[in-house]
Amino acid sequence: MARVAPLQLRLVDPGWTDRVPSPAHDALSPSQRIAHLRANPASYLGVTRGPEDFEGDQPSTPRELVQAGREALDGLLAAGAFGDVGGDSYYGYRLELDGWCQTGIVGGVHMDDYADGTIRIHEEIHDERAEHLALHAEVVAAQSSPVAVAHHPNRDIAAVLEGLDNEEPVLQFSMPDGLEQTVWQIAETHTETIRSALEGSRLYLIDGHHRTAAASLRWKQGGPPWMLAALFSTDQLSNRAFHRFAKPTVEDPLGQLLTLDGADRGRLGDGKGQIQVYFGGHWVTIPHQPAHRPLERLDMWQFENVIRPQLGENARVRYQRTVGDEEQLLADVDAAGELLAFMTAVTMPQLFAVADAGDVMPPKSTYFEPKVRSGIFLRHL
């Protein structure tokens, strides 16, 4: 049984909405996050930043690093950047970007449901990242980054959310990247409807696998059983692809890739059922190798298990959603000596098939946008 609970939260003060809510962390490079913090010292990125997000001297230990985040949060609270702690409530949360609009419910999901598979996952995690986030939760003692969770369409939930358009929002503001966000406090009369609507349903973790694993670690250490989450119907979600940028350690990476069955020179086809790879001014197109499970039909699995081994044992890979001019992108790839593999976005049916089969995708296989942001809701642990 999926449990979704109302939580006691603070909301960012309306006078601080132009300073505190932060850009999506994984949409920015470390240098971009540093630049953003330099220009916006009150950004919640100051609470969540990692060791690569510091200028000059970095904290020497993981605990010193998260202590810096605690001090940044204490400074925001002392300055009045967040309102008072409210009573147990659900909140409606709408995000609008580039013509896409999605509305969901902010509340708490239970760690028991994560442990027993009621909340299905679909991506692998890096244990050290989850351990760092668990330490962050312990020291900072607050959550402000809701994980994104999907549920199948539900008429009762939809009716509650549709009714919000007749209510006055408690927050409504735009961010510099064009994202418009609206928050409503949902009336207590809807609490039981929301609580019971998803009983017996499966939930799917869409964004926040490392944060959820960290919350599970904290729960096992005696931390709280509830985790801050934004829940959206699957028909509200739009997924994009995280492309792969690799630094090969073999002398002729395209030559290596051309030894794979069906590989051919050039940028061929529409990218479906095949992977288009660019390196040093040239393209190679590699069809998917035979697949036997839903997981193996994904570009991300094919890259990790078919393409990456051809790039050298110590080839480094980074992940990025590409935006802007492709000509400039390829010039940047050339300058960095990288290889670029374009990924096709995972569809919702593919995600369900992988999650329901109990498989997990390689890291950074999905990128659901608009991204739920930090610095709007704040829950003390």
In angstroms, the CA 4 to CA 142 distance is: 19
Q: What are phi and psi of 7, to 5 degrees?
A: -125, 160
pLDDT of the residue at 7? 97
Full domain range(s) for residue 246: 242-344
CA distances from 66 to 133, 275, 307, 343 (A): 9, 39, 37, 34
**Residue bearing tokens 């009573």:** 87
User: What are the helix (H) ranges across 109-225?
Assistant: 111-115, 127-140, 155-163, 191-197, 209-220
The average pLDDT across 99-122 equals 93
CATH of the domain at 272: 3.30.1760
The average pLDDT across 305-320 equals 93
Q: 3-class SS at 361? A: strand
The average pLDDT across 17-43 equals 90
The average pLDDT across 274-298 equals 95
Written as one string, the DSSP assignment of 298-324 is: SHHHHIIIIIGGGG-TT-EEEEE---S
In angstroms, the CA 125 to CA 360 distance is: 9
Structural domain count, the chain: 2
pLDDT of the residue at 323? 66
Q: Which of 246, 346, 331, 237 is nearest to 295 (CA)?
A: 346
Who's near 292: CB < 8 A, 6+ residues apart? none
Q: Examine residue 47 and state whether it is found in any structural domain, yes or no.
A: no
Residues 100 and 176 in one domain: yes
pLDDT of the residue at 54? 85
Residues 177 and 309 in one domain: no
Q: Examine residue 354 and state whether it is found in any structural domain, yes or no.
A: no
Q: Examine residue 145 and state whether it is found in any structural domain, yes or no.
A: yes
**Residue bearing tokens 């290889």:** 339
Question: Which residues are 341's β-sheet partners?
Answer: 244, 277
Q: pLDDT category, 367, cuts 50, 70, 90?
A: confident
Q: pLDDT category, 330, cuts 50, 70, 90?
A: very high
Q: Examine residue 335 and state whether it is found in any structural domain, yes or no.
A: yes
The average pLDDT across 96-117 equals 93
Question: Which residues are 123's β-sheet partners?
Answer: 361
Residues 155 and 264 in one domain: no
pLDDT 10s digits, 196-250: 998 878 899 988 989 999 999 999 999 999 999 999 998 888 888 889 999 999 9
Q: Examine residue 350 and state whether it is found in any structural domain, yes or no.
A: no
Q: Examine residue 359 and state whether it is found in any structural domain, yes or no.
A: no
> Which token pair is 271?
């990218």
Residues 85 and 218 in one domain: yes
Residues 73 and 95 in one domain: yes
In angstroms, the CA 132 to CA 44 distance is: 17
Q: pLDDT category, 127, cuts 50, 70, 90?
A: confident
> Which token pair is 308?
């990456």
Residues 154 and 279 in one domain: no
Q: Which of 74, 170, 190 is nearest to 377 (CA)?
A: 170
**Residue bearing tokens 């505190």:** 20
Between 38 and 363, name the one with better pLDDT.
38
pLDDT of the residue at 368? 82
Q: Examine residue 60 and state whether it is found in any structural domain, yes or no.
A: no
Is the Cβ–Cβ distance between 186 and 194 less than 8 Å?
yes
pLDDT of the residue at 277? 97
In angstroms, the CA 88 to CA 353 distance is: 35
Residues 233 and 373 in one domain: yes
**How many residues make up the chain in this entry?**
381
Residues 79 and 202 in one domain: yes
CATH of the domain at 86: 3.90.1530.10
What is the pTM assigned to this prediction? 0.81
Residues 177 and 250 in one domain: no
Residues 108 and 225 in one domain: yes
Q: 3-class SS at 248? A: coil
Query: What is the pairing mode between strands 119-120 and 203-207?
Result: parallel
The average pLDDT across 299-304 equals 96
Average pLDDT taken over every residue of the chain: 92
Q: Examine residue 360 and state whether it is found in any structural domain, yes or no.
A: no
Residues 300 and 213 in one domain: no
pLDDT of the residue at 193? 95
The average pLDDT across 365-373 equals 86
Residues 194 and 249 in one domain: no
